[in-house]
Amino acid sequence: MRPAPAASVRVDTGAWRGGQHKSISRALPEEVAVALTYDHATFAVMMASPTDLEDFAIGFSLSEGIINGADDIVELRTVIVDDGIECRMLLAPEKRDLLEARRRHIAGPVGCGLCGLDSLAEVSRALPKIQAATTIPAEAIADAVSRMSRLQTLNNETRGVHAAAFFNPARNDLTLREDIGRHNALDKLIGAVTRRGDTPGAGVIILTSRVSLDLIQKTAVFGAGILVAISVPTARAVREAEQAGITLIAVARDDGFEIFTHPGRVIMGAQSDVA
């Protein structure tokens, strides 16, 4: 069996800094074509980082509505092929209708979450209404954001990938996944959290990216009630989060953040002291 590609590759390059030229070495993130196949048929091909691909396959399947739980995949293998990597899945027979209902072919340059949809109606698909009652102190959110950077090993090496993390306030721990694509990073995280058996509504998703419509959709299908992002959301993402019942927090830094929708899940100031 051929080895999987490395997550990063070191290259020699020349740099022009401060009016001087010098030779340097730099680590670059790798990207490979990853085919997601169900019952021997390709459903999507994404450019992704070649890490945590079983998490990616499960998370993508969940967030795209192909399965309802990890047990719906009765077999999952990652196979290195000439042109990339295949995540080969066999579905439980009763889930094959869901696959046909959601079938689409995607060829996204960096895991574009809405590439390849076959109708405009699919963009505005109905989302579940989030009922998660989990609340969290504002200070805990800021602390979790600051802790993320230490876990981003691939980004710390290359400065070129996104991360998605799941913060569980009860355990005060972070589960984190990285990828060149922000959608892929979230799918990998959803797969990892699902495989670990955590309850989506009991935690907070944190993203090192802007928030677009499709990331709100994936979060809603997953069932998390709080989404935090380092960058800004789109206006459409804010409207969608409001409708889905998601607490959308963005422009998150070590010293604070902005709350765009459903602020009741965030405990601030004196409220936090009382809690």
Q: Could you list the active site residues?
A: 112
Give the separation between CA 169 and CA 173, rounded to whole angstroms.
7
Give the separation between CA 253 and CA 146, rounded to whole angstroms.
7
Tokens 């450019």: give the residue: 47
Secondary structure of 256-275 as H, E, C letters: EEEECCCHHHEECCHHHHHC
Residue 73 φ/ψ region, left for φ over 0, alpha for ψ in the -120 to 50 degree band, beta for the rest: beta
Strands 204-207 and 226-229: parallel
